[in-house]
Amino acid sequence: MLDNCGNVLIKEVLNSLYTRINLLRITTLMQPDRWSTSLSEIDEPQRCIRARDEAGAELAARTHVENARIAAMRFIEAEESQ
């Protein structure tokens, strides 16, 4: 889709962002127990969406992102302290 957007700058910025997001995912999933926790966190927004619980879906999504941020920061801090 980006190849056909007609804006090379937008394509480069978004590709860079996607790369950083994927790196963040890998980093957070390297934390002990993060994989199983992440899977259950991803299930919750889907459950809320099916139940048409907009507020619950938003809260579950925000909680997942916050927990991923915390896991990434722990990893980064551990790497910096070595």
**pTM (two decimals):** 0.72
Q: What's the pLDDT tens digit per position in 33-65? A: 888 899 889 999 999 999 999 999 999 999 999
Helix (H, G, I), strand (E, B) or coil at 22: helix
Q: What tokens does 19 get?
A: 């790369």
CA distance 54 to 45: 9
CA distance 34 to 32: 5
Average pLDDT of the segment spanning 4-31: 87
CB atoms within 10 A of CB 48: 18
Q: Look at residues 6, 1, 35, 40 and name the one whose alpha carbon lies nearest to residue 18.
A: 1
Mean pLDDT across the chain, nearest whole number? Answer: 90
pLDDT for the residue numbered 45: 95
The DSSP call for residue 5 is S
DSSP alpha helix (H) spans, 30-53: 34-50
